[in-house]
Amino acid sequence: MVRQKQGESPQDFADRCRSLAQKTVSRVEDPVTQRIYYEQAERMLLASFTSGLLNTVGRQLRYALPKTMDEALKIAITVNQAEIQERRNEAF
């Protein structure tokens, strides 16, 4: 179980999750088995990323139910940027 660190961007958190997921993939000679391992790691990556994001970004991502990591990351970055913009607007 991995959690986003305070102040860590969604992109940085995704990179950290991806690095951890890659460490779980066993190397085998059979290409079919290897593909299955990669697919399992991708599902684990998406689940870890989705459940580990904090605050509004994490909640919005869980509501969206993304099917791929690329989709999840796009949503997380968009929501994060919207939050940053809101904070800037409130400062004025």
Q: Return the sign of the alpha-carbon dihedral for residues 27, 28, 31, 36.
A: negative
What pTM did the predictor assign? 0.86
Please check whether residue 76 lies inside any domain of the structure.
yes
- Give the tens place of pLDDT for each residue, 7-48: 999 999 999 999 999 998 889 999 999 999 999 999 999 999
What is the span of the domain harbouring residue 23? 10-91
User: How far is it, in rounded angstroms, from Cα 47 to Cα 51?
Assistant: 6
Q: How many other β-carbons are positioned within 10 Å of the β-carbon of residue 89?
A: 8
Please check whether residue 1 lies inside any domain of the structure.
no
Domain count, the chain: 1
- Give the tens place of pLDDT for each residue, 50-74: 999 999 999 999 999 999 999 999 9
Please check whether residue 2 lies inside any domain of the structure.
no
Q: Are 37 and 26 in contact (CB under 8 A)?
A: yes
